[in-house]
Chain A
Amino acid sequence: MIKDITIGQYMPGETSIHRLDPRIKILATIVYISILFFIKGFFPYLYVLGYLGMVIWLSEISPKTILKSLKPLAVIILLTLVFNIFMTPGEKLPGFGFLPITKEGLYQAGYMGLRLMFLITGASLLTLTTSPIALTDGIEKLLNPFKKIGVPAHELAMMMTIALRFIPTLLDETDKIMKAQMARGADFESGNLFSRAKAMIPLLVPLFISAFRRAEELALAIEARCYRGGENRTRMKQLKLKGIDYSASLITLLLCVAIIFTR
Chain B
Amino acid sequence: MPVEIKNLTHVYMKDTIFQHKALNDVSLTIEDGEFIGLIGHTGSGKSTLIQHLNALLKPSSGNIIIDGVDITAKGVSLKKIRQTVGLVFQYPEHQLFEETVYKDVAFGPQNLGLSREEIDLRVKESLMLVGLDYDALKDVSPFELSGGQKRRVAIAGVLAMKPKVLVLDEPTAGLDPKGRDEILGEIRRLHELQKLTVVLVSHSMEDIANLVDRIIVMSKGKVVLTDTPRNVFMQAEVLKNIGLDVPQVTHLVNELNKKGIKIKDCISVDEAFNELVKYLRSN
Are A185 and B94 in contact, with the CB atoms below 8 A?
no
Q: What is the CB-to-nearest-CB distance from A216 to chain B, in angstroms, rounded to a whole number?
A: 14
* Interfacial chain A residues near B143, Cβ < 8 Å: 209
Once the chains bind, are A183 and B94 in contact (CB under 8 Å)?
A: no
Of A4, A183, A209, which is within 8 A of B56 by CB?
Answer: A183
Q: How large is the interface on B (under 10, 10 to 19, 20 to 34, 35 or more residues)?
A: 20 to 34
A250 to B213, CA, bound (A): 74
List A167-182 residues whose CB lies under 8 Å from chain B: 176-177, 179-182
Q: Is the interface of A mostly helix, strand, loop or mixed?
A: helix
Is the beta-carbon distance between A202 and B97 smaller than 8 angstroms? yes
Cα distance, A226 to B51, chains bound together (Å): 42
B83/A179 in contact, CB under 8 A: no
Question: Are A183 and B86 in contact, with the CB atoms below 8 A?
Answer: yes
Contact between A176 and B97, CB atoms less than 8 A apart: no
B96, A183: Cβ atoms closer than 8 Å: no
A185 touches B111 (CB 8 A): yes
Shortest beta-carbon distance from A19 to chain B in Å = 22
Does more than half of chain B's interface fall in helix, strand or loop, or is it mixed? helix
Question: Which residues of chain A have C-beta atoms less than 8 A from B54's C-beta?
Answer: 183
Cα–Cα distance between A179 and B97 once the two chains are bound (Å): 14
In residues 95-114 of chain B, which contact A (Cβ within 8 Å)?
A: 95-97, 107-108, 111-112
A177-B94, A177-B95, A206-B97 given; A184·B13 CB < 8 A: no
Report A-chain residues with C-beta under 8 Å of the C-beta of B171. Answer: none
Q: How far is the CB of B115 from chain A (nearest CB, A)?
A: 15
Q: A185–B108 contact, CB under 8 A?
A: yes
Total residues of chain A contacting the partner, CB 8 A: 19
Verify if B87 is at the interface (C-beta below 8 Å from A): yes
Q: Tell me if A205 counts as interface (CB < 8 A to partner B).
A: yes
Contact A185/B79 with A3-B13, A176-B89, A202-B107 known, Cβ cut-off 8 Å:
yes
Q: A3-B13, A184-B107, A185-B82 are in contact. Are A210 and B56 (CB under 8 A)?
A: no
Other-chain contact of A184, B51, B94, B161 (Cβ < 8 Å): B161
A179 vs B90: C-alpha distance when bound (angstroms): 11
Once the chains bind, are B56 and A181 in contact (CB under 8 Å)?
Answer: no
Q: Is A201 a contact partner of B56 (Cβ separation < 8 A)?
A: no
| Given contacts A202-B97, A206-B97, A183 and B158 within 8 Å (CB-CB) | yes
Q: Which residue of A lies closest to B57 (CB)?
A: A179
Give Cα distance in the complex from A186 to B82, angstroms: 10
Instruction: Report the minimal beta-carbon distance from B274 to chain A, rounded to whole angstroms.
Output: 42
> A91 contacts the other chain (Cβ, under 8 Å)?
no
Q: Mask for A136-165, Cβ within 8 A of B = 1, else 0?
A: 000000000000000000000000000000
| Interface contact A184-B158, CB-CB below 8 Å | yes
Are B111's CB and A206's CB within 8 A? Answer: no
- State whether A185 and B95 are in contact (beta carbons under 8 Å apart), knowing that A3-B13, A179-B51, A180-B89 are contacts in the complex: no
What 5 A-B pairs are tightest by C-beta distance, nearest first?
A185-B111, A205-B97, A184-B108, A180-B95, A183-B87
Binding site for A on B (CB under 8 A): 13, 51, 54, 56, 79, 82-83, 86-89, 92, 94-97, 107-108, 111-112, 143, 157-158, 161
Give 16 new A-B contacts, CB below 8 A, not counting A179-B51, A209-B94: A177-B94, A180-B87, A180-B89, A181-B95, A181-B107, A183-B82, A183-B88, A183-B89, A184-B95, A185-B108, A186-B107, A186-B111, A202-B97, A202-B107, A206-B95, A206-B97
Which residues in A have some Cβ–Cβ distance to B below 8 Å? Answer: 3-4, 176-177, 179-187, 201-202, 205-206, 209-210
